[in-house]
Structure 1
């Protein structure tokens, strides 16, 4: 059993973050007889899962949905995030390709290069 401060320190985040996650429904933490949050192993593991999902790019509403008890709903949220991330990867790859070309381009001005013009139009 850990206090919110101990749990936050163990996770490397601030206690207010854990409170916010609980407030929005992404985290469920039991309380003791005095109403204080008590992070047992299950609550701490749930907080680790929320933290990992946040770090891979899910918003808090997406995290909450991804942790839904209905597996198909959770899978749908994760599948949409995968598709979005794959789109970002493709866009970044196009950007890298364009920038590499500009580094190696023999034209002094990018406007003079037909390849650069093609990149710009796409």
Structure 2
């Protein structure tokens, strides 16, 4: 059993973050007879899962959906995030290609280079 301070230290997040996760329904925490939050092993494991999902880019609504007991609903959220990340990675690869070209481009101005102009026209 941990207090919110102990849990936040162990998880390396601020206590207000744990309160927020609980407030939006991403984390369930028991209360003791005095109304204080009590972080048992189950709550800590749930908090670790929320933290990891946040670290890989899921929003709190996505975290809630990914942690639903319905596996198909959770998989749908995760698949959508995978697709979004793959799309972002493709965009980043295009950006790197463009930037690498501009560094090595023989033209004084990017507007003078047909390759740079072609990159600029890409969506």
TM-score, normalised relative to structure 1: 0.98
Taking the aligned partners of 2:87 and 2:66, their CA distance within structure 1 comes to 20
In the other structure, the counterpart of 2:115 is 115
Give TM-score scaled by structure 2 length. 0.97
Runs of 4+ in 1 over 4 A off after TM superposition: none
CA distance in 2, matches of 1:31, 1:98: 54
How far 1:105 sits from its partner (Å)?
0.4
**Structure 2 unaligned regions, length at least 5:** none
The corresponding residue for 1:87 is: 87
RMSD, aligned CA: 0.6
Local SS of the residue matching 1:76: helix
Query: Gaps (5+ residues) in structure 1?
Result: none
Cα separation, 1, equivalents of 2:35 and 2:81? 36
Aligned to 1:71: 71
Size of the aligned set, in residue pairs, is 122
Which residue pairs with 2:36 in the alignment? 36
Structure 1 residue 37, shift from structure 2 partner: 0.8
The 3-state SS of whatever aligns with 2:37 is coil
Provide, for residues 5-33 of structure 1, a one-character-per-residue CA deviation record: whole Å limited to 9, x for no partner: 10001011111110110011000011111
Task: Name 2:22's counterpart in structure 1.
Answer: 22
